[in-house]
Amino acid sequence: MERLTINISPHVVSPVDTRYMMKGVLKALIPAVAVSLFFFRWYAVGVIFTSVAGCVIAEYVGQKIRGKQVRVNDLSAVVTGLLLAMVLPPAIPLWMAFLGAIFAVLMGKEIFGGLGCNIFNPALLARAFLMAAFPVALTTWTMPVTLDAMTTATPLGLAKFGPYAASYMSLFLGNVGGSLGETSALALLLGLGYLLYCKIIDYRIPLAYIGTVVVLSTIFYFISPDRFMPPQFYLLAGGLLLGAVFMATDPVTSPITPKGRWIFGIGCGLVTMIIRWWGGLPEGVMYSILFMNAFTPLINRMARPRRFGMVRGKV
Amino acid sequence: MLKDFLKGLWRENPVFVQVLGMCPTLAVTTKAVFGASMGMATTFVVVSSSIVISLIRRFIPEQVRIPMFTVIIATFVTAADYFLKANFYQISKALGPYVPLIVVNCLILGRAEAFASKNGVFRSFLDALGMGLGFTCALVVLGAIREVLGAGTVFGYRVMWDGFSNWIVMILPAGAFLTLGLLVGVFNMVDKKISVEKK
C-alpha cells in the first residue's frame, strides 16, 4: 500500500490568481491598444512603451526598497502602465509619461503597502498628478491619423465651449482627438465583453456608471435640447467607457458587495455628469472615479449584505 | 541643558515629529524664502513668549493660564507682524494672514504650556530656541523642495536647466501635502535607522 499523505487545507486551489486577472485585463486592452496604435502611430508606441517600462522599473525598485519579495511577475505593474498610457494624450513628452508611471506605482501603490492596499486607482492618480503638474501638456490633443502638429480639442471640449456637430461614427470608431485609449468606443466595448465573459469584472459597476450617465443625459436632453448634447454623445465621447470598464472596476479600489457596487457606479456617473455640465473641465471621468475611490471603504461598511438568518433591520 | 536645545531640532522636531503648526507649514512654503521668514518670525515669537511666561510663571493663576499665555503670545506676534510690514513689505504681503495667525500656532502655546510654565528662564529659552530653529529648518527644507520643482529656483536663484518645465502641482496645496508626507516618511526612516544602530 502506498503511503498515506496527509496535508493541511486548502486542498483545492483556484487557478484564478493576480497574474491570471492581470493577464485577462491585458487581453481585454488589446483592441484599445491596437486602435491607439492605428490612430496615433509612433506617439502611441512611445507613450505605451515608456509608461509600461516606468511602472515595471518603479515596482521593482519600490519593492526592493521596502525589502519585500519582488513580484513584478504578477503583471500588475504592466497593467497599471498600460492603463496610464491609455489615459494620456498622444503627444505628451515621454519624460512626463515616465514620471507619471513612477508616480503611479510609488505614490499610488507602493507607499500604501503594495498591491491591494492602495486607496486610489494608481493610473488615474498619476494622471491627476500630471494634470496638476503640467496642465498644458495634458490638455494638448493631436489629430488622429494625420498626426497634425496643429492641436485639436476633444469632442467634449468642443461641445462645452461652443456648438459642435458630432459625427457619431467617428466617435464610435475612435477617429477623434483624445487620450490614447479613450477614443474608440468599439474597442472598449470589445474589451468589456471579454472581461465580462471571463468573469474578471462584475457587470454592476459599468452598468450602474454608464446607466446613470445615459439616464441623466436623456432627462436633460428632453428638458432643454439646445443646451445639452444628446445622450449618445455623452456615452461615446470622452473617457466614460474607458473609465467605466477598466478604471472603476479596479478590484482593489472599488466596493466588494453587490449593493456597494451599484452605489459606487451611480456615484461615479453623477459626479461625471456634474463636472461635464457645470464644472470647469470638459471631462469628469477621472475625478469622479478618484472621488468615489475615496468613499469605497465607507460604502463597503454601509452596504453590507444581510447575513444568512439575520432579521432585516436588526444588527 | 544642551538636550533642551537639541531636542527641538531632531527628536521632537515640531513639524516632522510632533506635526504641529501645520497651517503655516503647508500654506506659506511655496518658496524657500517664505518658509525662512515664517520660521524666523515664529522663532522670535516662541523664544520671547517662552522667556516672559517662564519669568512670571509663579504669578499666573492656574485657572486663567491659557488666556494669559495667548495675550503674551499675541503681543509678540503683533510686534513681529509690524516689524515685517515696516522692513520687509513684500514678504509680509506674500505671507498675508499667516503672520497674525502665528498666535494660534499650537507649537507656541504647546511650548508655553508644556515647558516654559514649568521650567526656569534659561532652560525655557534654550527649549524655545531649539523648537523655533527646528521649525525654521523644516519650513526651509519644505519650501526649497517645492520651489525647486515648482519654479526651478531656490531662494530666487535658478538651479534647474533652461528647458525645465515647472511642476505646477508643487506650488499648489497638493504639492505641500505630498512633500510634507514624503519628508515625514524619510524622517522616520532615518530616525529608525539611527535608533537601530544605537542599539
User: Which cell numbers hold the place of A39?
Assistant: 490612430
pLDDT tens for B130-171 read 999 999 999 999 999 999 999 888 888 888 888 788 899 998
User: So what's the pLDDT on residue A244?
Assistant: 94
Kindly report the nearest CA distance between residue A192 and chain B, in angstroms.
34
User: Which cell numbers hold the place of B162?
Assistant: 533652461
User: Which cell numbers hold the place of A303?
Assistant: 452596504
| Interface contact B170-A133, CB threshold 8 A | yes
pLDDT tens for B71-128 read 999 999 999 999 999 999 999 999 989 999 999 888 999 999 999 999 999 999 999 9
pLDDT at residue A306 above 80?
A: no
Kindly report the nearest CA distance between residue B164 and chain A, in angstroms.
11
pLDDT > 90 fraction of chain A, expressed in percent and rounded: 56
**Which residues on chain A are in Cβ contact (under 8 Å) with B192?**
none
DSSP string, B18-57: S---HHHHHHSTTSHHHHHHHHHHHHHHHHHHHHHHHHTT
pLDDT tens for A95-130 read 999 999 999 999 999 989 888 899 999 999 999 999
**Which residues on chain B are in Cβ contact (under 8 Å) with A119?**
none
What phi and psi values does residue A196 have, to the nearest 5 degrees?
-70, -40
The answer to whether A242 and A32 have CB atoms below 8 angstroms apart is: yes
Query: HSE (CB half, 13 Å, CA atoms) of B120?
Result: 4
Q: Under DSSP, is residue A142 helix (H, G, I), strand (E, B) or coil?
A: strand
The answer to whether A247 and A83 have CB atoms below 8 angstroms apart is: yes
Kindly report the nearest CA distance between residue B169 and chain A, in angstroms.
4
pLDDT tens for A214-237 read 999 999 999 988 888 888 888 888
DSSP string, A20-77: HHHHHHHHHHHHHHHHHHHHHHHHHHHHHHHHHHHHHHHHHHHHHHTTPPP-GGG-HH
User: Which cell numbers hold the place of B154?
Assistant: 531656490
Q: Which of B165, B169, B185 is nearest residue A129 as measured by Cβ atoms?
A: B169
User: So what's the pLDDT on residue A149?
Assistant: 56
**Which residues on chain A are in Cβ contact (under 8 Å) with B186?**
none
Residue range B51-68: average pLDDT?
92
Q: Which of B165, B168, B185 is nearest residue A132 as measured by Cβ atoms?
A: B168
Q: Compute the Cα dihedral for A155, A160, A161, A165 and give only its sign.
A: positive
Mean pLDDT of chain B, nearest integer: 91
The answer to whether A201 and A265 have CB atoms below 8 angstroms apart is: no
CA separation, residue B98 to residues A173, B39, B71, B129 (Å): 54, 11, 18, 21
The answer to whether A301 and A241 have CB atoms below 8 angstroms apart is: no
pLDDT tens for A141-180 read 888 877 665 566 788 887 777 667 778 888 888 888 888 8
B154 pairs with which residues across the strands?
B157
User: So what's the pLDDT on residue A150?
Assistant: 56
Band the pLDDT of A24: cuts 50, 70, 90: very high
Q: Under DSSP, is residue A148 helix (H, G, I), strand (E, B) or coil?
A: coil
The answer to whether A122 and A76 have CB atoms below 8 angstroms apart is: no
Distance CA B95, CA A94 (A): 37
Question: A107 CB near a chain B CB, below 8 Å?
Answer: yes
Locate the chain A residue with the closest alpha carbon to B167: A133
Question: A113 CB near a chain B CB, below 8 Å?
Answer: no
| Interface contact B168-A134, CB threshold 8 A | yes
pLDDT at residue A298 above 60?
A: yes
pLDDT tens for A26-38 read 999 999 999 999 9
**Which residues on chain A are in Cβ contact (under 8 Å) with B165?**
93, 96, 134, 137
pLDDT tens for A65-91 read 888 888 888 899 999 999 999 999 998
CA separation, residue B122 to residues A125, B2, B54, B59 (Å): 50, 11, 9, 18
Mean pLDDT of chain A, nearest integer: 89
